[in-house]
Amino acid sequence: MDRTFRIKVRMRRFRRQYPRIAFAIRSFMIFSATFGGAYGFVSGSRSENSGYDPNTFAIGASFLFALACLGLATLSMRLRFVNKRMRALAAHNEALIDRNWELKEAEERARNLFEQQGDLIVLRDHQGRITFANDAYCVLAGQERGALVGTRFDFDVLEQGDDARESNGTRIHDQRITTPLGARWIAWRESYVRLDAGQPAELQSVGRDVTDRTETERALTDARDQADAANRAKSRFLAMASHEIRTPLNGIIGMGGLLLDTTLTPEQATYARAVKTSGEALMALIEELLDYSKIEAGKLDLEQRPFALSTLIEEITELLAPRAQAKTLEIAAYVDERLPLEVVGDAARLRQVLLNLAGNAIKFTASGGVALIVEPGIWPNEISFLVRDTGIGIATDAQQRIFREFEQADERVARTYGGTGLGLAISERIVKRMGGRITLTSEPGKGSTFEVAVPLAPSQADAGQTAFPSPDLTGKSILLVAEGIEASLIARRLERWGGQTCLVSDATVAEALLPERSWHAVLVDRAIGATDHLGEVARAHAPQRLVLLTSSSRHEKISPTFTGFLVKPLRAASLAARLALTPEVASPDLAPEPLPETTRQAPAKGLSILVAEDNEINALLMRSLLTKLGHRVVIAVHGEAALESWLAASSAGTPYDLVLMDIQMPQLDGIEATKRIRVHEAATGGHHTPILALTANTLVEDRYACFEAGMNGFLIKPLDRDKLEEALAGLAASRHLAV
């Protein structure tokens, strides 16, 4: 079958290829058949002995005729079939023509689209010759398409921009080119395309004119650079200006303090106090402005150092306690014991935020108190600091606004309380920079709660440690006679330690309750009144009787019926230590709580002190303060003079006991002068002179610079007598100074 088909196909092909030969063969075959048939018939019918029989002839002729008819019928059927196929082929052909026409149209459209694209399109063969260029390319090149095709034309490149390659091999790059229309920036996308199978691929480049965008970007970058430079200049200017303002201000505040130490009429004292207070307010404002501008300029660098949470919180409450107690407000802190003892973060900045919030809380509260509560936050490693007050509260419409700079909830109220409206703006920025958030809930007239939630990872060194051994009060009853915020926080802590706490706010109720059961301890807040009598009654019912005092009343006489006292705001460790003591050990004569080292140590007297200070007024102030404290003072007006004076004193065998070194001085600054002193000491193996920095800058990096230069500490200006005395006592305590 296959063979027959192949032969047929070959014959057909032969006929198509050699039609004349096929015609000749066909004519020859027809002629031979006709001639053979006619000749056979004529010669057969003429022959004598052919035995011609008309009947047989008729039968034969009829048979042949029938055969011919059959052949004709078959041929006619085949013809019809062929016709049908021809019609189908014609229809198919027509469809193909239509399709071809559509394709041509589509190609035309695509070409038009290509040619009229706004983007430049150019195709080059493997030798770099242009095979196609669209209208945009021709316009930019300033030539006809016909003139471009076949050439190796390319634009002159003035500048080559960034170059990148996509994962599919497309090269993306920018070029600044010269064109008859002027210099243009073109963003090119170049890739290889294969147009015809078997032909080498062509390079297709599509370029977009991005001159406007690039120039805008460049202008923006220039503007940003200029703004950055201006901002840096502004920060430098602000730092310098604030330093310049602070220097005379230190003089005003310091001299005001000195003036107040002299004998003044009451009227003069009022004026001098006003000068000092205004100076201090101005100083606080300058500090805030400087801080704010630093944060705005993005220069807030956070530390990552371990610090003790409870120490930070207790320090804040103790620092603010005098301010709160002066307004007869309570201030109390509670640090949840589930929290790690030490965490890693920027303690100084956190302290700044919490001091601002707690300071505001005291400022805007007339009665009640302020609580600082530290608890685990909602996320792992998050710590939530709540600052709660019972103050004037903040109206709902002002709650968002007050976080913006220079915004205050109520202008009228703000005038009464003072302030700049910068504190919260600064705090929010610091907290955000720490990756945390600050939120507020408040109801006018009822109080406010600010929550600062920041991620603080536990310190590695702290693993498994506890701040202090918490007493086991399981099954023990404790009567707490107190009221207010601190009382509820103490009760919460006692319950955490397992105690059954009974909190009453009335002395007579407490007296009635005492005989009800045996109490492990009775804690009585002196603020309740009638405490001495209560202590007397409690003697028979509780082995531990503690009285709660404020720091101002701590030196007042306390009834001997009490076994000890605790100072508010209470430190958890002190409470734990007191409750863990057996009453026999607790001294009945109420030995006062140990005071912090610095205050316990007697301040040093009669020291020889070198003060390096370039500002005349400040130098005068330092001289007066130190002389009043009984020290001998030598002033050096710059670092160079200080170094010389120090060297002279050392070589004369009368070295200075202490150097107070201003940081910013002409010729040689304080840091450099200190470094040179330390180098000299190391070379000669001589006596180590304690050096304290005198600085108006409270920034962490400045402190590092001081310590790195070899200083022993720093004193923040404006200085007053107390600060100086405290610093000298601190040095004596740490054995840097001979007392």
Stretch that binds ligand ADP, among 69-77, 187-195, 326-334, 415-423 (CB under 6 A): 415-423
Smallest gap, in angstroms, from Cβ of residue 438 to ligand ADP? 11
Select 392 or 549, whichever has its Cβ closest to ligand ADP.
392
Quote the tokens at residue 470.
């918490």
Q: What angle, 0 to 180 degrees and rounded to 10, lies between the N-to-C axes of helices 309-326 and 347-363?
A: 20
Select 391 or 639, whichever has its Cβ closest to ligand ADP.
391
Smallest gap, in angstroms, from Cβ of residue 590 to ligand ADP? 37
Say if CB 439 and CB 449 are below 8 A apart: no
Select 269 or 355, whichever has its Cβ closest to ligand ADP.
355
Select 175 or 360, whichever has its Cβ closest to ligand ADP.
360
Q: Is 411 exposed, middle or buried (0-12, 13-18, 19+ CB in 10 A)?
A: exposed
- Determine the distance from the C-alpha atom of residue 633 to the mean position of all C-alpha atoms in its chain, rounded to a whole number: 48
CB atoms within 10 A of CB 297: 15
- Report the distance separating Cα 444 and Cα 448, nearest Å: 8
Stretch that binds ligand ADP, among 58-66, 105-113, 360-368, 577-585 (CB under 6 A): 360-368
Select 389 or 511, whichever has its Cβ closest to ligand ADP.
389
Select 251 or 419, whichever has its Cβ closest to ligand ADP.
419
Smallest gap, in angstroms, from Cβ of residue 393 to ligand ADP? 6
Select 358 or 693, whichever has its Cβ closest to ligand ADP.
358
Smallest gap, in angstroms, from Cβ of residue 568 to ligand ADP? 21
CB atoms within 10 A of CB 418: 10
CB atoms within 10 A of CB 368: 17
Smallest gap, in angstroms, from Cβ of residue 361 to ligand ADP? 4
Q: Is 581 exposed, middle or buried (0-12, 13-18, 19+ CB in 10 A)?
A: middle
Smallest gap, in angstroms, from Cβ of residue 237 to ligand ADP? 24
- Please list, in sequence order, all residues whose beta carbon lies within 8 angstroms of the beta carbon of residue 688, skipping any fewer than 6 positions away: 681, 736
Say if CB 612 and CB 573 are below 8 A apart: no
Say if CB 724 and CB 628 are below 8 A apart: no
Select 393 or 718, whichever has its Cβ closest to ligand ADP.
393
- Report the distance separating Cα 488 and Cα 485, nearest Å: 5
The residue from 399, 420, 698, 734 that contacts ligand ADP (CB under 6 A) is 420
Smallest gap, in angstroms, from Cβ of residue 392 to ligand ADP? 5
Select 448 or 695, whichever has its Cβ closest to ligand ADP.
448
Footprint of ligand ADP on 432-461 (CB under 6 A): 448
Stretch that binds ligand ADP, among 10-18, 419-427, 511-519, 688-696 (CB under 6 A): 419-427
How far, CA to CA in Å, does 453 sit from each of 305, 374, 383, 385, 432?
18, 10, 6, 6, 10
- Please list, in sequence order, all residues whose beta carbon lies within 8 angstroms of the beta carbon of residue 304, skipping any fewer than 6 positions away: 344, 345, 346
Side-chain-side CA neighbours of residue 430 (13 Å): 27
- Please list, in sequence order, all residues whose beta carbon lies within 8 angstroms of the beta carbon of residue 181, skipping any fewer than 6 positions away: 140
Sign, CA dihedral 59-65-71-76, equals: negative
Select 306 or 421, whichever has its Cβ closest to ligand ADP.
421
The residue from 122, 136, 140, 361 that contacts ligand ADP (CB under 6 A) is 361
Write the binding mask 383 to 412 for ligand ADP: x where contact by CB under 6 A, - elsewhere. ------x-xx-x-------x-----xxx--
Q: Does 354 bind ligand ADP (CB under 6 A)?
A: no
CB atoms within 10 A of CB 514: 20
Stretch that binds ligand ADP, among 34-42, 105-113, 413-421, 705-713 (CB under 6 A): 413-421
Smallest gap, in angstroms, from Cβ of residue 355 to ligand ADP? 11
Side-chain-side CA neighbours of residue 121 (13 Å): 16
Say if CB 519 and CB 494 are below 8 A apart: no
Smallest gap, in angstroms, from Cβ of residue 434 to ligand ADP? 18
Smallest gap, in angstroms, from Cβ of residue 359 to ligand ADP? 8
The residue from 423, 436, 564, 639 that contacts ligand ADP (CB under 6 A) is 423
Task: Look at the chain and count its residues.
Answer: 739
Select 315 or 410, whichever has its Cβ closest to ligand ADP.
410
How far, CA to CA in Å, does 302 sit from each of 313, 361, 532?
19, 26, 51
Alpha helices in 298-408 (DSSP H): 309-326, 347-363
Smallest gap, in angstroms, from Cβ of residue 412 to ligand ADP? 10
Select 422 or 513, whichever has its Cβ closest to ligand ADP.
422
Say if CB 481 and CB 510 are below 8 A apart: yes
How far, CA to CA in Å, does 644 sit from each of 115, 632, 671, 717?
84, 18, 15, 25
What is the pairing mode between strands 658-662 and 608-612? parallel
Write the binding mask 514 to 553 for ligand ADP: x where contact by CB under 6 A, - elsewhere. ----------------------------------------
The residue from 188, 307, 364, 562 that contacts ligand ADP (CB under 6 A) is 364
Smallest gap, in angstroms, from Cβ of residue 651 to ligand ADP? 53
The residue from 319, 348, 414, 577 that contacts ligand ADP (CB under 6 A) is 414
Smallest gap, in angstroms, from Cβ of residue 622 to ligand ADP? 31
Smallest gap, in angstroms, from Cβ of residue 327 to ligand ADP? 13
Stretch that binds ligand ADP, among 109-117, 220-228, 416-424, 489-497 (CB under 6 A): 416-424
Smallest gap, in angstroms, from Cβ of residue 425 to ligand ADP? 6
Stretch that binds ligand ADP, among 42-50, 356-364, 430-438, 698-706 (CB under 6 A): 356-364
Place of tokens 């840096």: 232
Stretch that binds ligand ADP, among 141-149, 209-217, 355-363, 712-720 (CB under 6 A): 355-363
Sequential DSSP letters for 3-29: HHHHHHHHHHHHHHH-HHHHHHHHHHH
The residue from 205, 360, 650, 695 that contacts ligand ADP (CB under 6 A) is 360
Residues at the site binding ligand ADP, with contacts judged by CB under 6 A: 356, 360-361, 364, 389, 391-392, 394, 402, 408-410, 414, 419-425, 448
